[in-house]
Structure 1
Amino acid sequence: MLIVFGIIVAALVLFATEPVPIDVTAIGVMVALMVLEPWTGITPELGISGFASTATITVLAMFILSHGVQRTGVVQILGRKISQVTGDSETKQLGATIGVVGPISGFINNTAAVAILLPMVTDIAHEGNTSPSKLLLPLSYASMFGGMLTLIGTSTNILASQLAGELAAAQEGATRLHEFSMFEFTHLGLLVSVVGTVYLLTVGRWLVPERIRPREDLTEEFQMADYLTEVVVREDSPLVGRTLGEVLAETPLDVDVIQLVRGGEVFLEPLARKTVRADDVFALRTDRDTLVELVDTEGLDLVPNVQVDEAELEAASEGENLVEVVISPGSDLVGETLATASFRERYDATVLALRRGPEVLRERLDATELRVGDTLLVQATTDTINRLGVNPDFIVAQEVERPDFRESKIPLALGIVAAVVAVAALDVLPILVSALAGALAMVATGVLKPTELYDAVQWDVIFLLAGVIPLGVALNQTGGAALLADLVVMSADVLPTVAVLGLFYVVTALLTNVISNNASVVLMIPVAVEAALQIGANPFAFVLSVTFAASTAFMTPVGYQTNLFVYGPGGYRFTDYLRVGGPLQLVFAIATTAGIWLFWPLTP
């Protein structure tokens, strides 16, 4: 038991601090449990059981179903229609954001829902002269409580369902415990969704800060005035006759060439093979001190009376080519720098600035290690931006052209998802089977290409699930869950059952804000079931409390992937999540506990 507790403590520290990705930590936990088999009781067969669990495979299939819906463009079409009626009313914009993402998150992965809707919400904000900060945090929060509407809303629900079923088979007296059906807790999900919506439209609206002003100019938003300038090459410049690639490779100075203007023609990336000529005009990103050094040593003159802003850059190239790009979870760029990833050469794009929450970096960008949620201000051609828009490594924070949408497949994609839900809800087939059949149908009907199946899956989530599932088994087998339950049961001597239920919600909610929601469920459900049995309570009610709490990581940007999505684009500070999410967490603790008490008996 002590060995397992030691592994749990180490895992919690690694989950919270993330020196390595959380899926790597999860696999490390799995390996540690197997290596220490004499003490943990986790044989190799049990250790790898997470890869074959119904929860893991079901989540994998749901990622494919979500991606199929995404590839049709139906959500973007819905977003455009909604943006036509929101106008400049912040109330309508906020209501539309919550009203769209909540129901969608009940049926497709909520991480995917936020990734799809983020550009739409950003555009709605700017077109309506509203700060995007006022809408993006509610977008993330609404996706979380929207995911609690159905079994398939989040991977957490699916995992909790499997754990409940396994414990029901293993625990004597757990007669009310069972796997979740498709809409088993939808009425509770609706209750908390209504409570959350009312909060975000009233108190939350007042608490959400306006970190970013409504965008009139992206260069102004990133405060680039002192970092953008234009220079002209003199005839005696030592740069004449050399390629830009050679010049940039050799210079130790912090400078980026954004665009080249030559004889009235504008060139964007790729610029490396362009040979420098006299009278070439370059738009540069650099700081004032570096600019002085460049002018002195490289034979350049400043172009007088020119303000390099978004309008100037886009007017010169006759197209929209300045956008915000967010680094998505699972991106190959996470942990890399712009230099090590060869960003300029790889994507034919130039990064002018990087925003991480409230912090904006404009110097030495090539040496900055990239993280999930980082927002890059990118200058590129329209074609390049469209390619970035279809690249899973990025979320382009403005709507871009997506000619590859398969709009003709919309009825098929929606029909397949509806069939999966109906078959599982009517108990014709288990959700595992219906979801896999639906994923196969997505390919058979041409909604997805076979090669897109693997790109559709968020493999970090799959490996996270597979890695942490054996931890719950070890906690249960060694008696750790029973010991922790004993400590909780001591509170039942002075607290009523409903208060103990609320205590589990609060503990799980606090835990899920610093570690993975799936890890929280794995650790807390065995303890909750054991405690419920010891105090003579309904274990199913306690499982629901833990499940709902694990999907409400409102208080930190690292608690849930969707919070990281909006961290950079919203310009939020870490404390903003605590200020807005803390009261919401408390409201949800009360509403969820009261709802469970109202809808399910707390005692057998």
Structure 2
Amino acid sequence: MPVFEVSGATVVFLLIVAVLVAFLTEIVPNDVTAIGVVAALVVLEPWTGVDSRAAISGFANPATVTIIAMYMLSAGIQNTGLVERLGIYLADFTAGKEFRALVATVCTTGPIAGFVNNTPVVAVFIPMVTDLAEKTDMSPSKLLLPLSYAAILGGTLTLIGTSTNIVASDFARLLIDGRDGIGMFEFTGLGAVLLAVGIAYLLTVGWRLTPARVPVDSDPVSEFDLDNYLTFMEVRETSEAVGVSVEAFDEAYPDVRLLQARRDGRAYAGPHSDRLLEAGDTLVVHGSLQAVNRFREAAGLGQRSREAVTEDTFEATATDGTLAKAVVPDHSRYVGETVGETGLHEYHETSVLAVRRGGELLRTDLKDRTLQAGDMLLVRTTPASIRYFTDTGDLLVADERAIDRMASTDIAELAPLSSKTPVAVGILASVVGLAALDVLPIVIAALAGVVAMVVTGCLTTADAYGAVSWNVVFLLAGVIPLGLALESTGGAAAVAQFIVATGEVLPLLGVLFVLYAAVGLLASVITPVATAVLMIPVGVDAAARLGANEFAFLLAVMFASATSFMTPVGYQTNLMVYGPGGYEFSDFLRVGGPLQLLLGVVATVGIAIGWGL
């Protein structure tokens, strides 16, 4: 009786399908899925050919180590205050004009992202761009999407511009004979062309297509539709609140949140105050209509329904609390935790009033809501907590007005430059120079740069470790052996055969464009790094079968993976502006789709001219 044999390539394909489903559905975080891949490859070793040593090789891969070092170097530059200071100067340059604000945003973000990791650049620029929009009397939505796209485009300028470039360099070393990786500025010419074309698009067609989702200078209460969730109440003489501290009274009623207490028209206490309530005090209460009504009856309070709670209600108590909008970044420790589990209220005097997740607005049962990367939170918080969130990066405060209220308007105090600024910039320049001149491999130069920054005091070890997006590192380390298994089992060759088949009806340039388009689509639904790892072996194999330039096909995969514009989940920076811009999923497709198609044409032609087919 014949025995059905399963080939190694089939097993790897099935594993890849399972990984793609997990990435799309996010049943578990992507980095956890990647670590699961490591275990699965070893368990299935008879088919995958991957033993335990090969399975964990991704952690020692030069690309992984280089990316870790570049995160740390970016943090060192971030600590100098240069990016923040630049944002302040941009506001002066725009002079209140909309188009100038757009030009300033895209023309500064792109070049910076070529040398500093684009994720922290966007994190710093989000509140500044929001403030820029307010000063020019325009919707922040008109600037935030171009901000993300410009940062993505800037990543194509240098080898260290984005993680996918570093991954591609390592694959070039492994898969292409005679190649020792990719030079620091080897593709800068084409990257500059793509950046210029992208900026031209964003300043013209993209500007018209980008929607103004968030109203100009909108009140957060109205923006998050909280008019029926924030209420003024009055403490009656017979109320049980009389003589009770604000904090104790707030804790006694967990279904509502006491955000503020007012006396004689002045706010004097937040929810963590030990100040005693008196008859005649006015309370600002947050909760659903049903919960608030139950609270009013149980506590014997009166309701002042004619007066509406607005952002100005909290402006009066800037020393005790304020409203702010904050984004949950993908590296935040709050991702995957419920609002109640984060301890925001207990430890950071921060109350979450609403959560915007794409087009969905969550305002009830918030304690039990699990936070996801890209969530936009409306919070009542304090200046000290804003500083804490800014320092740790666990939340990105996206409301420059909230930051202004905690700091002086003096530029030197609002965006101070570190005394170590020249040293940090010099170290980064040295890393780039040593790698560009082939004095040291990029991985060694980057590690040496990290050591130099720590030794010179530009970076503490705690800041260095905290700057790394470890989820990206574990994702890369887990997916690299999967890419190697795809290559060694013949799976890459099988996929490449489909691409080769298009050569029967298309010229070689057309085949390259088909590859670029396919990779771009895949990068839009899973991470660019994972796409590069899986598709570079396919591209190189297809080129070999066609007798074409293998490096040209590798570059096509690299550029296509690094320029993902069509979905908010395709690139970290897209996810970061998703909430603050109030965008819908379709906005990325409408604005990013034509841009991705345009760059596909420009990139394939540019590769053909620059490196030949």
TM-score calculated relative to the size of structure 2: 0.93
Q: State the partner residue of 2:143.
A: 135
Q: Which residue of 1 aligns with 2:323?
A: 322
Shift of 1:204: 0.7
- Structure 1 CA distance for aligned equivalents of residues 301 and 168 of structure 2: 64
Does 2:482 correspond to 1:471?
A: yes
Q: Which runs of 5+ in 2 are unaligned?
A: 1-8, 408-412
* Paired residues, number: 595
Aligned to 2:191: 189
Q: Which residue of 2 aligns with 1:560?
A: 571
Q: Which residue of 2 aligns with 1:159?
A: 167
Q: Please give the residue correspondences for 1:26-41 in structure 2 after superposition, counting only pairs within 5 Å.
A: 26-41=34-49
- Structure 1: which amino acid aligns with 2:605? A
- 1:521 Cα deviation after fit: 0.7
Stretches of structure 1 that go unaligned for 5 or more consecutive residues are: 169-173
Q: How many Å separate the matches in 1 of 2:452 and 2:545?
A: 46
Q: CA deviation at 1:286?
A: 2.5
Match of 2:15 in 1: 7
TM superposition shift of 1:16: 1.3
Deviates most, 405-414 or 146-155: 405-414
Preserved contact between residue 247 and residue 271 of structure 2 (Cα < 8 Å): no
Structure 2 matches for 1:142-221, cutoff 5 A? 142-168=150-176, 174=177, 177-221=179-223
Superposed counterparts of 1:107-122, under 5 Å = 107-122=115-130
User: SS at the partner of 1:72?
Assistant: coil
Following superposition, the deviation at residue 252 of structure 1 comes to 6.0
Structure 2 letter corresponding to 1:464? L
**Pairwise CA distance, 1:197:** 0.6
Identity of aligned residues (%): 48
Q: Say if 2:325 and 2:379, in contact at 8 Å, map to a contact too.
A: yes
Partner SS state of residue 457, structure 2: coil
**588, 596, 600: which one aligns with 2:599:** 588
Of the three residues 531, 542, 560, the one matched with 2:542 is 531
The equivalent position to 2:494 in structure 1, one of 476, 480, 483, is 483
- Provide Cα deviations, 1:258-308, integer angstroms capped at 9, x if missing partner: 112256763454527555443332111223343333333321012465332
1:454 corresponds to which residue? 465
Residues 284-342 of structure 1 deviation map (CA, whole Å, 9 limit, x = unaligned): 12233433333333210124653321122212446882211111112111111211222
Q: Per the alignment, in what secondary structure is the counterpart of residue 390 of structure 1?
A: helix
CA offset digits 1:202-242 (Å, max 9, x no partner): 11111111100111532232233222222121122234455
2:391 alignment partner in structure 1: 390
Q: What residue is the counterpart of 2:292 in the other structure?
A: 291
454, 463, 466: which is aligned to 1:443? Answer: 454
Match of 1:98 among 59, 84, 106: 106
Could you say what secondary structure the match of 1:340 adopts?
helix
The CA RMSD over aligned residues, in Å, is: 1.9
User: Residue 511 and residue 35 in structure 1: after superposition, are their counterparts in 2 closer, same or farther (change >3 A)?
Assistant: same
Per-residue Cα deviation, 1:416-451 (whole angstroms, up to 9, x for no partner): 111110111011111111101111111111111222
Q: Aligned partner of 2:168: which letter?
A: A
Deviations 1:89-110 (A, max 9, x none): 2211111111111011100111
Query: Structure 1 residues 103 and 404 mapped into 2: Cα distance closer, same or farther (>3 Å)?
Result: closer
Is the CA contact (8 Å cut-off) linking 1:515 and 1:559 kept in structure 2? yes
**Which residue number in structure 1 is paired with residue 226 of structure 2?**
224
Question: Higher mean Cα deviation, 74-83 or 259-268?
Answer: 259-268
Matched, 1:46 2:57: no
Q: Secondary structure at the match of 2:340?
A: coil
Query: What displacement does 1:516 show?
Result: 1.2
Of the structure 1 ranges 102-111 and 301-310, higher mean CA displacement relative to structure 2 is found in 301-310
Name the amino acid aligned to 2:61: S
Amino acid at match of 1:291: V
2-structure distance, mates of 1:199, 1:453: 37
**Aligned position for 1:171:** none
- TM-score, with length taken from structure 1: 0.95
User: 2:3 corresponds to which residue?
Assistant: none
Q: Which amino acid aligns with 1:417?
A: L
Greater Cα shift, 100-109 or 223-232: 223-232
The letter of the residue matching 1:35 is: V
Q: Deviations over 1:388-424 (max 9, x none)?
A: 2222111111343487965211111111111110111
- C-alpha distance in 1 between matches for 2:264 and 2:348: 26
Match of 2:4 in 1: none
Distance 1:101 1:162 in 2: 27
Q: Which moved more, 1:356-365 or 1:581-590?
A: 356-365
SS at match of 1:152: coil
Counterpart in the other structure of 2:374: 373
Structure-2 change in CA distance of 1:318 and 1:61 (3 Å)? closer
